[in-house]
Structure 1
């Protein structure tokens, strides 16, 4: 006859049970608190610290444009080779995230959770301050990189043409497509940010997986895309009006909705729902001893 146990397997020692508990994946509430704490720390940083970190992130994001252009220029002219050249898209994200620089789309989740946990006017003001400084810093960095790549004799003619083709590919989307693809991109970046604390040792591969899929799907990202599209502007192929109205505005709105109003809101609601469920009372130690007694 098999006797049913309530919570723990009867033949596990205390040390073995500790091993079981230690190897359990963290609950969603733990991930939420890790990211919320990180976001609260970011909201406390000074404007100067945020600005220089965001500018550095924008410059680092130029690596995505450079890597994709170099790979595209050195691969045969076939759409099937996009599966290889798309790996270049990961370069900027790896540099920014591993170097702990400020990326706007990361903050659509990280800095939003403290505001959702404590929705006050002061917290909302701190969030708008961070978003403004980081976004402006990121865009200044990417525009500077695009200008330098175009005007300095850094690459051969074939690579320069590849940079133009990358920007043209982005601008094949109309504003509605920019917005819709931006939602998916913002959601994917938020997913990446949520995954990293639970598997810190696999951070490198998580970043590559998510950003590689973004490149394959041609999903629009406000920071990387600003380097790609501004290259067209500086080359005289696109007016600034189209940069802001067709690309930047819709993509930015989509990234914010995907990262903040979809992923962050759902994740926060999940944790709030878990915390509202009352936990069972702990069993008194005396009762536990009596169960173990023969």
Structure 2
């Protein structure tokens, strides 16, 4: 009796699920999560576009973002002034921290800590003096615009008759809580904050449809952990300055300098470097077999 070896058609190759139609295979392909190299390239292109923007465009967008970030201070102050004292109230009030981030990111305004990732990836892909100069221009303009905006909004919140006395006290307490950190704590917490914002940007590139929930999750955890952020914190701490409880020297040296350094290190030198190193390592992988006896290379992230 003649034996026939079982035939393996392409859909039923070893290790693959048998019986899938061509439409089902296409559906499987479409439902695959994007590779890290795709996310890297998406963010790199976004960063390159930001680096090409004019100084005027960056300035006005960054100024608007600084003003908008006042929503975080406003929301937390309103929550705190209307909730009873206690840890449970802090858990609820921390949700207010997300308000400014949601408004700024959904409105596509320029936020400095976002640029510690997006604008750095193009520099890592093509490190040269020209790109480095573009990065420092972007950082300088955006940071200045953000800080001017937050200082303006905190001044207005204090001096205009907008909030009741209980809410004003809540604003002061928020600023005092930030200034309880010493220099080492400001710096260390700033690193975690910068890393979390960079993680958020990476996650949004992967799941654009879930952008709002990603922003809320990450920034809510930042508030619960009391991590320091140069933009939100500048609104919180400058409120103390305008109220006469703190000097400008303490604002710049005790808060702004260590927090800014931590944010940059966490977002650029930790997250961005590790992410870029991962992509560079993947680009050096050996070619893969396409199932038809031919070899193919993974797309290069630097293409």
Per the alignment, in what secondary structure is the counterpart of residue 106 of structure 1?
A: helix
Q: CA deviation at 1:284?
A: 4.3
Structure 2 residue ranges without an equivalent (≥5) = 295-303
* 1:110-157 deviation line (CA, Å, top 9, x unaligned): 000000011011000000000000000000000000100011010000
Residues 1:121 and 2:154 aligned together = no
Question: Partner of 1:149 in structure 2?
Answer: 157
Count of aligned pairs:
286
Q: 1:98 aligns with which of 82, 106, 118?
A: 106
Per the alignment, in what secondary structure is the counterpart of residue 105 of structure 1?
A: helix
Question: Partner of 1:200 in structure 2?
Answer: 208
* 1:217-236 deviation line (CA, Å, top 9, x unaligned): 00000000000000000100
- Alignment TM-score, normalising by the size of structure 1: 0.94
Find the aligned partners of 1:95 and 1:133 in 2 and give their Cα distance.
20
* 1:177-222 deviation line (CA, Å, top 9, x unaligned): 0000000000000000000021111101000000000000000000
Q: CA deviation at 1:89?
A: 0.3
Residues 1:31 and 2:39 aligned together = yes
Residues 1:174 and 2:182 aligned together = yes
* 1:262-283 deviation line (CA, Å, top 9, x unaligned): 0000001111111111222435
Q: Which runs of 4+ in 1 moved over 4 A?
A: 1-4, 283-286
Question: Partner of 1:73 in structure 2?
Answer: 81
* Residues 4-23 of structure 1 aligned to structure 2 (within 5 Å): 5-6=13-14, 8-23=16-31
* Residues 215-294 of structure 1 aligned to structure 2 (within 5 Å): 215-284=223-292
Residues 1:159 and 2:167 aligned together = yes
Find the aligned partners of 1:248 and 1:7 in 2 and give their Cα distance.
56
Find the aligned partners of 1:182 and 1:129 in 2 and give their Cα distance.
22
Find the aligned partners of 2:15 and 2:206 in 1 and give their Cα distance.
25
Q: CA deviation at 1:6?
A: 4.4
Q: 1:63 aligns with which of 71, 74, 84?
A: 71
Structure 1 residue ranges without an equivalent (≥5) = 287-294
Question: Partner of 1:138 in structure 2?
Answer: 146
Find the aligned partners of 2:15 and 2:148 in 1 and give their Cα distance.
56
Q: CA deviation at 1:21?
A: 0.7
Find the aligned partners of 1:13 and 1:272 in 2 and give their Cα distance.
36
Q: CA deviation at 1:79?
A: 2.8
Find the aligned partners of 2:17 and 2:221 in 1 and give their Cα distance.
42
Per the alignment, in what secondary structure is the counterpart of residue 218 of structure 1?
A: coil
